[in-house]
Structure 1
Amino acid sequence: MKPISYFSTLLKYFLVPFLLLIFSCKETEPKSGSQELLHEIETSLNELVDVWYPRSIDTVHGGFLADFDAEWKAKGLQNKMLVTQARHIWTASTLAMYYGDSKYQDIAAHGYQFLKENMWDDENGGFYTLKGIEGDSLILLSTSKSAYGNSFAIYGLSTYYKISKDTTALNLAKKTFQWLEEHSHDSVYGGYFDIMKQDGSWLLNVKENDNNYDSFVRKDWKDQNSSIHLLECFTALYEVWPDPLLKERLEELLLLIRDTITTKKGSLTLHLERDWTPVSFKDSTETVRKANFWLDHISFGHDVETAFLMLEASHALGIKNDTTTLSKGKKMVDHAIAKGWDSEKGGFYDGGYYLDDSDTCTIENPAKVWWTQAEGLNSLLLLSKLYPNEKQYSNLFKKQWEYLDTYMIDHKNGGWYHEGLDSKPSVGKDVKAHVWKVNYHNIRALVNVIKMLKGEFVLTKESH
């Protein structure tokens, strides 16, 4: 009996503790780097959503509040801009689908009711650009309409329809598309004019800005910004309404953006004449060129964003093996990395310029703008999934997230700064939100990135 007793003792005092140690180590094994990163980004998304909702819901005048100070106190004019309101509808609808939580659908419905009842022009059609609060009423502040603004209305309405199945919202999105077709679309040269009179007529023959039209200097031109967002909204609408004319316009925009607006270097031309001749101030004096920088420069944020939007549109159109769009999108991101990326701290600069015909792109605005960083995060991970053998994209994606976590996210008050702490150290005192700083860029980027890391994103599923 002694050998058995000895073996039992050995098992009790040595072997069992050893096995328990092995199993306990297995249970407490640290998560992989990708799991930790996924957890960080999921947590960051949740915190970002919580700082915006329900805080931004306007329970008095409807729709959403626009202005918040550095500590997220509602301060400011609280004007109701079409883009702001529509982006909130898109975001809340997207969150309703992402979380499977009806409270976000309710938020989107709140925004939809305001848009339908207060921003649509019953007399001329199309959505108003801007209204302001005067006492208990809303007054019209804008004298012109914008294809850009109306594109976001379509974007929000189409996405709200996905989650709500409210056909009145879809019908309003269709009505907006048809209004743009009648008033903004150029049947001769293709594409769309952004700036229109209140009745939707063009400003081509207007010589004096006697009615305080918005962006009057751009009245005769077409531009990349409204074009890429029309592409974006038509993609969303086509997914729920595969109309033949809508498909034709979506294809038209994709080809114009990819093959005409995007240069051979891989950057977007910001403004173009009606016949798509690029608008450039390169041959002007330095004073004139710098004064018109906003009209003519290299916008790295728009470039990386457009790479994603083109691939999204191509997928929605069902184009198989679209290597042309894929290679052009890759070229746009590669150009932004080569010319606009901060290799030391990470992040993309706001704007550069080619002063001559050389390959030197001078950084003329080194600001690290919040929406550019969000779009960069999205496109870097997207390319890392589409080109898994090119490790630079994965490495830069991780560095971009580190940049955001270090310089862009306000870990004390919540939300994102409008600019990075590295390029503007005093940004912590600046407002957190205004009519142009909403949450659709960064929430879309974080949702997309989480889906990519989980292998659930529609554009990268085939790469897994």
Structure 2
Amino acid sequence: MNPLRQPRPFFGVLGLVGLFLVLSCQEDRTASDSHKNALQGEIETELNHLVKVWYPKTIDTVNGGFWSDFNHRWEKDGEQKKFLVSQARHVWTTATLAQFFHDDSYTEMAAHGYRFLRDRMWDKEQGGFHSLLALEGDSLTVVSKGKSAYGNSFALYGLAAYYKVSKDSSALDLAKKTFAWLEEHAHDSVYGGYFDVLQRDGSWMLDLDENDKGYDNFIRKDWKDQNSSIHLLESFTALYEVWPDALLHKRLEELLVLIRDTIATDKGYLTLHLERDWTPVSFRDSSDTYRKKHFYLDHVSFGHDVETAFLMLEASHRLGITNDSLTARKAQQMVDHALEWGWDEKNGGFYDGGYYRAGGKRSIENRAKVWWTQAEGLNSLLLMAERHPREKPYYALFEKQWTYIRTKLIDHDYGGWYPEGLDTDPSAKTKAKAQIWKANYHNIRSLINVIKMLNGTFDLNEDEG
């Protein structure tokens, strides 16, 4: 036998095995791509349904701005107050949709909302935006007693988005005025950061002992907080994209460092309220009765934690910080902490709130699965999967979160999202689809970001794994 011919059957078997493995891998990739495409299609369909149920239905052509209150059947039902936060969020959403869909009809919707912010909600006497207007007969009246950095941050957010798509210089000018007003009135030049609760003229309330004028949120007057801080970070990020001002850069970086290194704890969650010098406010040593009564002031908010993970990465990216491993690690830690404690492993979805007790003991205090938390969770889970593909099953968790949203949050009869998952609140099926605290920026932003991540056009998904 010719020895040169002996190995040929052996190599032939190997060749067949290799070919089989290659074909199998190709089939696996094809199946995976097909599944991913189907998932993306589902999410794109939901985005289209969600947009159509909100617009143009919510546009108020009578009073300006957007209608606020709709029942579960999407019928106007409620006081229809004009809340700065939801009005500004509509401006941001419609401007963002104009850019995403390349559809000028949404630019005009954003322009409609911008004009309302400019003409009706801006305080022409003392600057800054009013927080709340109410319909009294045929007119709108200011009913808020003070001003809010949180509310003004969303006005800024909407203005920046509208300018980005419209190039209307008057909107950018108003955004600059808003930033200047926040700088003059809300910024703390000694300890950094911003106070949220302000008097109508923008002054602080640190020296006030009695709420004799009915100021809004008087209980929080001496404190700084995570919620206004993270949304100022968010709005400054958006403004810096269209106006790379040196002072704005400084304040954006200041907020990023404060949130990442001070407001976010070593465990990976945000402290809700802090003293002026950033000492955490805690009711841990108070009675259970007192602590539960003030739960909204001191707890672990899993929704804000997963949202902030995204906002910090977005800010770092916009600032142009290269190899920002500190922010990347903290963002991942915050998502991991929420998954480890606040995630429903059986059904999917993030719970609303937990509490760390003395000695490190902890408990879930509110098992509600609030709509906006689920939206932010969807966005951040896929972001972690994109950035850390070799660590933890983030993508599988993202898919489970989408299944939860699709089956427990989306109303497939009337459209829109329930205020809470049906597994934790079956009565959510007949609760309001929209009110002043429930607009659509959380879920529309999440769906747009997820679609971009799935089709490879999102710019924050660098592999850090």
Is the structural similarity TM-score above 0.5? yes
Cα deviation code 1:141-164 (max 9, x no counterpart): 101000000000000000000000
Structure 2 counterpart of 1:195: 197
Instruction: Please give the secondary structure, in 1, of the residue aligned with 2:147.
Output: strand
| Offset, 1:391 | 4.2
Tell me, which stretches of 5 or more residues in structure 1 are unaligned? 1-25
Structure 1 counterpart of 2:376: 375
Cα deviation code 1:270-320 (max 9, x no counterpart): 000000000000000000000010000000000000000000000000000
Cα deviation code 1:383-442 (max 9, x no counterpart): 000001124100100000000001000000100000000000111111101000000000
**Does residue 248 of structure 1 match 2:250?**
yes
Structure 1 counterpart of 2:311: 309
Structure 2 counterpart of 1:10: none
TM-score normalized with structure 1 length: 0.93
Instruction: Please give the alpha-carbon distance, in whole angstroms, between the structure 2 residues aligned to 1:461 and 1:331.
Output: 17
| Offset, 1:460 | 1.6
Tell me, which stretches of 5 or more residues in structure 2 are unaligned? 1-26
Moved over 4 A (4+): 461-464
Structure 2 counterpart of 1:179: 181
Structure 2 counterpart of 1:108: 110
**Does residue 222 of structure 1 match 2:224?**
yes
Q: Which amino acid aligns with 1:45?
A: L
Structure 1 counterpart of 2:426: 425
Equivalences for residues 341-352 of structure 1 within 5 A: 341-352=343-354
Instruction: Please give the alpha-carbon distance, in whole angstroms, between the structure 1 residues aligned to 2:69 and 2:299.
Output: 29
Instruction: Please give the alpha-carbon distance, in whole angstroms, between the structure 2 residues aligned to 1:182 and 1:127.
Output: 14
Instruction: Please give the alpha-carbon distance, in whole angstroms, between the structure 1 residues aligned to 2:362 and 2:415.
Output: 35
Cα deviation code 1:169-200 (max 9, x no counterpart): 00100000000000000000000000000000
Instruction: Please give the secondary structure, in 1, of the residue aligned with 2:128.
Output: coil
| Offset, 1:361 | 2.7
Instruction: Please give the alpha-carbon distance, in whole angstroms, between the structure 1 residues aligned to 2:274 and 2:439.
Output: 28
Cα deviation code 1:320-362 (max 9, x no counterpart): 000000000000000000010000000000000011232x430
Q: Are the structure 2 counterparts of residues 408 and 325 from structure 1 closer, same or farther at C-alpha, using a change threshold of 3 Å? A: same
Match of 2:45 among 43, 46, 66: 43
Instruction: Please give the alpha-carbon distance, in whole angstroms, between the structure 1 residues aligned to 2:59 and 2:217.
Output: 29
Could you tell which deviates more after superposition, 454-463 or 316-325?
454-463
**Does residue 441 of structure 1 match 2:442?**
yes
Structure 1 counterpart of 2:89: 87
Instruction: Please give the secondary structure, in 1, of the residue aligned with 2:339.
Output: helix
**Is contact 1:86-1:115 (8 Å) kept?**
yes
**Is contact 1:455-1:461 (8 Å) kept?**
no
Structure 1 counterpart of 2:98: 96
Q: Which amino acid aligns with 1:169?
A: A
Q: Are the structure 2 counterparts of residues 461 and 162 from structure 1 closer, same or farther at C-alpha, using a change threshold of 3 Å? A: farther
Structure 1 counterpart of 2:3: none
Instruction: Please give the alpha-carbon distance, in whole angstroms, between the structure 2 residues aligned to 1:105 and 1:391.
Output: 40
Structure 2 counterpart of 1:451: 452
Structure 1 counterpart of 2:23: none
Percent identity of equivalent pairs: 65
**Is contact 2:388-2:463 (8 Å) kept?**
no
Instruction: Please give the secondary structure, in 1, of the residue aligned with 2:240.
Output: helix
Instruction: Please give the alpha-carbon distance, in whole angstroms, between the structure 2 residues aligned to 1:250 and 1:93.
Output: 22
Structure 2 counterpart of 1:295: 297
**Does residue 355 of structure 1 match 2:350?**
no
Cα deviation code 1:233-274 (max 9, x no counterpart): 000000000101000000000000000000000000000000
| Offset, 1:215 | 0.8
Cα deviation code 1:44-86 (max 9, x no counterpart): 0000000000000001000000000010001110000100110
Q: Which amino acid aligns with 2:436?
A: V
| Offset, 1:458 | 1.1
What RMSD, in angstroms, separates the aligned Cα atoms of the two structures?
1.3
TM-score normalized with structure 2 length: 0.92
Q: How many residues align?
A: 436
